[in-house]
A and B are shown apart, each in its own frame.
Chain A
Amino acid sequence: MLRFLATIGAVFLGFLAATGRLAVFAGMTLATAFTPPFYLRAILREMVNIGYFSLPVVGLTAIFTGMVLALQSYTGFSRFAAEGAVATVVVLSVTRELGPVITGLMVAGRVGAAMAAEIGTMRVTDQIDALTTLSTDPLRYLVLPRLVAGLITLPMLVLVADIIGVFGGYLVGVYRLGFNPEAYLNRTHQYLETTDVVSGLVKAAVFGFIVALMGCYHGYYSRGGAQGVGRATTYAVVSASVMILMFNYVITAAFFGH
């Protein structure tokens, strides 16, 4: 019994220690944002990497999500003659929830993993130590540009995903379910409020920060050669995905909880 309790205690203490390390890592990185040098070129490069190169995967995911949502809403709502709400459900679901969450998860898989692998490889091949010996702070040079790029780029990406997702719903609504195009569009923006879009963009910024932070953190502290880098990549994706879903609830509660 005591051994069982000790195991639970050790796991809990490990969790607290990891949370503390993550907070210190994020704090030390953000502290470098207030003093020069600033690596603007690195930020732009990461923005292109996170945003532009994620467009195909995010676009495809968003359009199919919007299409499925329209189809599922229609089949569900038709049971109590509420088919007219399909367009509203699609636009609210996409802007408030599915756009940011699906985009965040896709970017976690594509970009978070790549960040962990790249920085992890730099760690195990002494490239991060080499940066330090060349009077360059690795947190400032490697991590901060990725955090800033994640923070800025995800909202842009989510805006695109929102438009494509709503368009997917429109395609199914008009060409498969036979809605009048004008009526569908009217319904789409009739109940849409600024808060719906803004809450999604705030979520996107937080998710972008989380994806970059987890990718950089696990890469930065990876150990043990190729196996360690592989482990860091897995941890980066899993932890970012879990945190995205957790923070999704927290932000939703903050915006719409009352």
Chain B
Amino acid sequence: MASGDQGRFLMTAAAIPKISVRGLRKSFGRKRVLDGLDIDCANGESLVIIGGSGTGKSVLVKCILGLLHPEAGSIRIDGVETVGLRRTAREHLLQKFGMLFQGSALFDSLSVWENVAFGLVQGRGMERQAAQEIALAKLAAVGLGPEVGELRPAELSGGMQKRVALARAIAAEPEIIFFDEPTTGLDPIMADVINTLIIKFVREVGVTAVSITHDMVSACKIADRIAMLHQGRIVWHGPTAEIDHSGNPFVDQFINGRADGPIKMEIRAA
């Protein structure tokens, strides 16, 4: 490859966002949750999406993961269109992703280490012995000892379950991790522990992270960039440092937690 060609290739590769969403639309019945949403997330970036309850933050993440099918729009991962992928291609694509669910979503019929190793054993066909070693290493990385590995998820506190879920999300070393309300329901200290762990993995491992949260303390700590979702669209996005003087009335109302403003709370959930 000529040096000029190589330079052009590298520039092109660098310019391709890790995640690119264009014109995404998703409705449930007559309720339109996402209404032509556009957003990009660069490789290695930590993007936090904020917004009120029922504004479609989780729906956006589920559309990117392929758990929900959008009615229109494009979702590109590394420049490759993923909307309408067939099952096998989707399973292959999902190996790039890790996901921390709001309620942890640990499998209560399995032990903690089996939960962490699940994606390695079932998803990638790794031997149980090797997967167990990786699982215990990941548990150690989130501050949990090997004795926890033999427990059942129901025997753990909410904070420990979140840490196990985080260990499961990173076990297969994904390129992109989604965090759905990672600190919801946790006390401030445990929330900070989880935030610190998220930063550690994003910064040290260099993964791309997309988090959705209401928690502005968490958002400001873990985000490189924050985007605000309202009525199915991104109404503001920018570097974390700029959020306090965004000049956007939606953002101002949300981050200051004011009842009065352009955002009117809907009574019914989507």
Q: Footprint of B on A, CB under 8 Å?
A: 37, 122, 125-127, 129-130, 132-137, 141
Contacts and interface: CB of A to CB of B under 8 A. Distances in A.
Given A126-B103, A127-B105, A133 B97 contact: yes
B95 A135 contact: yes
B67 A129 contact: yes
Contacts of A122: 107
A141 B122 CA distance: 9
B122 A129 contact: no
Interface of B: 62, 65-67, 87, 91-92, 94-95, 97-99, 101-103, 105-108, 118-119, 122-125, 168, 172
B123 A136 contact: yes
B91 A125 contact: no
A132 B122 contact: no
Contacts of B107: 122, 127, 130
A132 B67 contact: yes
Contacts of A137: 87, 91
A133 B94 contact: yes
A129 B100 CA distance: 11
A60 B147 CA distance: 43
A134 B118 contact: yes
A122 B105 CA distance: 8
A132 B101 contact: no
A130 B169 CA distance: 10
A136 B122 contact: yes
12 contacts: A37-B125, A125-B105, A126-B102, A126-B105, A130-B105, A132-B65, A132-B66, A133-B67, A134-B123, A135-B119, A135-B123, A137-B91
Which of A37, A126, A129, A137 has the most chain B CB within a 10 Å cutoff?
Answer: A126
Nearest to A139: B87
Contact of B101 (A37, A126, A136, A141): A126
- Top 9 nearest A-B pairs (CB, nearest first) are A135-B123, A134-B119, A126-B105, A130-B105, A133-B99, A136-B122, A126-B101, A135-B94, A127-B105
A88 B101 CA distance: 60
A141 B102 CA distance: 23
A63 B67 CA distance: 48
Nearest to B101: A126
B98 A133 contact: yes
Given A133-B97, A135-B92, 8 more contacts: A126-B101, A127-B108, A130-B101, A130-B106, A132-B67, A135-B122, A136-B119, A136-B122
Nearest to B171: A134
Nearest to B62: A129
A132 B94 contact: yes
A133 B179 CA distance: 13
Contacts of A136: 118-119, 122-123
A246 to B, nearest CB: 32
Contacts of B94: 132-135
A130 B122 contact: no
Nearest to A141: B122
Contacts of A126: 101-103, 105
A129 B68 CA distance: 10
A15 B122 CA distance: 36
Given A129-B62, A129-B67, A134 B105 contact: no
Contacts of A129: 62, 65, 67, 99, 101, 105
